[in-house]
Amino acid sequence: MRKTELLIPASNLEVLKVAVLYGADAVYIGGEMYGLRAKAKNFSMDDVKEGIRFAHEHGVRVYITANIVAHNGDLGGIREYFRELKSTKPDGLIISDPGVFMIAREECPEIERHISTQANSTNYATYKFWHEQGASRVVAARELSLREIKEIREHIPDDLEIEAFVHGAMCISHSGRCLLSNYFTGQNANKGACTHPCRWKYSVVEETRPGEYLPVYENERGTYIFNSKDLCMIEHMDDLIGAGIDSLKIEGRMKTALYVAAVARTYRKAIDDYKESPEKYFANMDYYRQEISKCTYRQFTTGFYYGKTDEHSQIYDSNTYVKEYTYIGIVQGHNERGYALLEQKNKFLVGETIEVMIPGGENLQVTVKAIEDEDGVSMESAPHPRQMIYVDFGEEIPEGYLLRRKEE
């Protein structure tokens, strides 16, 4: 059985540390340029250095995205960017553009080069091509079935790794190369500035009958005909590992620390349980379903993994997320009385029950007994986002643990 990596996204340094503590084998991040999430907070070069240092201390690898579809004016800056990245010693670069790949090979040949899903690699001949160019890993196009991935595995060199998305948002376009954003708003999705027009509300009209709506699924709010459900493969670890996938990738470089912790912890346990015993994995299925549903999500689908998708993979009546839990904060330290220091993310009150997410998989219910500001002044509630506060939970909660509250 091949080693199975759990690859988790991180939008900033805080989220990277959460991903590491909650079970990632590797994290992928974006610098301030040349990645496909320009609207994420992303990492300054100092943050990249600190993130890699922290991850490597915990035995976790770090990959940096440079997967834009480059234009002429990008190439000089990309070369300088790779020269600067060399000193931070990332474990890999995620690239889609052949020209960018060539520059990376010239400037930092010692860093692994991974081929992004944006490169649309859908057959084993393409995988072999990238291997001959010096790639160590290819990310499967999202349009591939597990049967096709297994066939690719059988036809490529053993040292060429396959990475595949197993959880998170799906894009309307072939492996994400969307033109809608550029067309509607002038924001180029292929250079990281997607405005997500596939989530917008649309109506369909046949050209010879202007003003007459076609009978599509809709409610009084309209129809969201391009709006895919979110991918979720937590129930299919046997098929993913059996197909020969080396890295199970979570989508979400725009997501919160709470989302990252919940998804990382759940998939970590599922992978480990399956590797220990398939019987243990299937016996714990209710736990995986319950925990993964505590993330913010859009309804779930298995995407293309079991063949062609149909109308059940789309959401026609809404573009909103299901949200069962609210993010409270991360324990950042303690005062002399053992009160937890945290940067409060959402309002909570004295007397409320808060859930502590323990990295190993358990949850601990605690009650807020007291809240104080940084000057020691008592507060009945913490209403201001990003305020630094001390909280008495009746017991000391370790640093780095996440806190959440169930929505009523």
Token representation of residue 124: 């084993």
Angstrom CA distances, 243 to 106, 117, 297, stand at 33, 18, 26
Query: What is the pTM assigned to this prediction?
Result: 0.85
Question: What single DSSP character describes residue 192?
Answer: T
pLDDT tens for each residue of 153-208: 999 999 999 999 999 887 766 666 666 666 567 777 666 667 777 667 666 676 77
List all residues 6 or more positions away from 53 whose beta carbon is below 8 Å from its beta carbon. Answer: none
Beta bridge partners of 406: 325
Using CA of residue 389, residue 394, residue 398, residue 403, what is the dihedral sign? negative
pLDDT tens for each residue of 217-264: 545 555 556 667 889 999 999 999 999 999 999 998 778 899 999 999
Residue 384, pLDDT score: 82
Cα–Cα distance, 174 to 180 (Å, whole number): 12
Report whether 323 contacts 293 (CB < 8 A). Answer: no
Averaged pLDDT for residues 258-275 = 96
pLDDT at residue 369 is higher than 70: yes
Residue 214, pLDDT score: 57
Residue 224, pLDDT score: 59
Token representation of residue 122: 């859908």
List all residues 6 or more positions away from 283 whose beta carbon is below 8 Å from its beta carbon. Answer: none
